[in-house]
DNA sequence: GACGCAATGTATACACCGTCCACACGACGC
DNA sequence: GCGTCGTGTGGACGGTGTATACATTGCGTC
């Protein structure tokens, strides 16, 4: 009944209402996407009257932005985990390449396994991902976009990406992966067989590597 | 005051309310995106009481889907225009390549010049674009996705795309272009200089051509 | 040409939403 | 011990989508 385990309420004051509202908002976004994060429902889950939210968030949109930042942070951490999962590779060139691939893989998996959070992170206008507010970042302090940039930098250093192709390369890589992610869970190809989908993801990452 | 030029109302009956509601919905989506197409406002513009809409659309979502179909049809026509604009080319291989490029160019321009309709077409779940309801199609009877497929088919016929790479290639091409389109007008890079943006679009299309 | 039915538009009402305002409670500093 | 200020409450307003019952009228049938 009370999934996060906090007792219903201590007294007149809540204790940490901001956190409770944010958690409720994240849960709503997780299953239902951005439109599902509705202020009154969040307060209901926190066991509090609707207007109490306004002591912590200026508007429904402010809450939504906070949820979005949390979603981006989760994605960043998924990327960091995928990067860490690589075994140490022989050549530095290969290491750099698998780094980029890990970023893309984590992105696509996140879109698959957390469609609601994914849409909340990217289908809602707001502060651009390129800005570095720590709320959007993972443990490394980098947000998803910055993690991608770093991966590309390492490719240049390792000599597997010509320096003259480096500028703005994150936009190309991001575009391709993001487009497929949208395609995957939003529409068409929803009922494409799993194996075929994975193969398509690999081909896309190949295309990026080859075409960058 | 009455942009489409129809007189305010004849009598008790409207004449073509369905069309009027759809037009109003399209106008709302054009500046404001999917969330802006609100049923009551559409009826207001048609000079009719809110519930009248329910004689023509089962729900707000049904209206939204009709608007979405119209947006897809507009995109299809933009693609057809771009295809027709090509001068006749010497080699059939080159013709096939410029065909694919025209599709991508039209897509990116549509996202730029009609952001509201673009988001309505793609940021809202619904019948997949791969289905061929004529409401989503252009003059050729093909919808945007089918136009892309046809362009790829022509590349195989002309011998500029190996047949073994053809299957599912539309997903790769669509992903890249769609991702950039989202990136363009949704977030980051909104204030990127025009020339730089165009250059980026060209590089993306290069990447697709090379990496497909 | 009159009639009746089905299609279309109206009236009223409900639940839900975001948000504003005035007020109640209570933790913390003087 | 008391006042102040941060936090939660109560009530209200205008907006939305939608259900249900009613009014009007165009059109096919006799």
Query: Taking residues B153-157, what's their average pLDDT?
Result: 97
Mean pLDDT of B191-205: 90
Gap between the Cα atoms of A115 and A182, Å rounded: 9
Choose among B130, B174, B210: nearest Cβ to A211: B210
Look at residue A124 in the predicted model and tell me its pLDDT.
84
A30 CB-near residues (< 8 Å, 6+ apart): A114, A116, A117
pLDDT in the model for residue B186: 66
Contact indicator for B184, A175 with CB cutoff of 8 Å: no
* Confidence grade of residue B38 (pLDDT, cut at 50, 70, 90): very high
Range in B13-22, B104-113, B141-150, B152-161 the model is least confident about: B13-22
Per-residue pLDDT, B62? 97
Residue B130 reports pLDDT greater than 80: no
**Which residues in chain A come in under a pLDDT of 70?**
1-12, 185-190
**Mean pLDDT across the stretch B190-209?**
90
Contact A150/B at CB under 8 A: no
Task: List the single protein residue with the shortest CA to C1' distance from C10.
Answer: B49
Q: Please tell me the distance from the alpha carbon of residue A163 to that of residue A155, in angstroms, as a whole number.
A: 9
How far are the Cα atoms of A91, B82, B108 from residue A158, in angstroms, in the given order?
A: 9, 41, 33
The minimal CB distance from A211 to the residues B174, B177, B207 is found for B207
Measured CA to CA in angstroms, residue A136 lies from A23, A60, A74, A151, B37 at distances of 15, 19, 8, 18, 31
CA dihedral B18, B19, B20, B24 (to 10 degrees): 100
Give residue B42's pLDDT band: very low, low, confident or very high (50, 70, 90). Answer: very high
């Amino acid at each position: 009944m009370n999934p996060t385990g906090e007792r219903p309420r201590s007294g007149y004051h809540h204790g940490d209402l901001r956190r409770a509202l944010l958690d409720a908002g994240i849960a709503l976004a997780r299953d239902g996407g951005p439109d599902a994060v509705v202020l009154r429902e969040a307060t209901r889950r926190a066991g509090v009257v609707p207007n109490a939210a306004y002591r912590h968030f200026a508007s429904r949109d402010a809450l939504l932005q906070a949820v979005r930042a949390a979603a981006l942070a989760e994605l960043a951490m998924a990327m960091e985990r995928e990067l860490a999962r690589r075994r140490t590779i022989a050549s530095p060139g290969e290491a750099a390449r698998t780094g980029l691939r890990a970023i893309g893989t984590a992105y696509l998996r996140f879109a698959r396994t957390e469609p609601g959070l994914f849409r909340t992170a990217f289908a809602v206008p707001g502060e651009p991902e390129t800005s570095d507010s720590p709320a959007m970042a993972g443990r490394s302090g980098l947000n998803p976009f910055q993690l991608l940039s770093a991966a590309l930098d390492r490719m240049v250093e390792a000599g597997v990406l010509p320096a003259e192709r480096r500028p703005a390369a994150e936009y190309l890589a991001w575009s391709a992966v993001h487009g497929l992610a949208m395609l995957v869970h939003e529409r068409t190809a929803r009922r494409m067989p799993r194996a075929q989908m994975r193969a398509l993801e690999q081909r896309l990452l190949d295309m990026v590597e080859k075409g960058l």
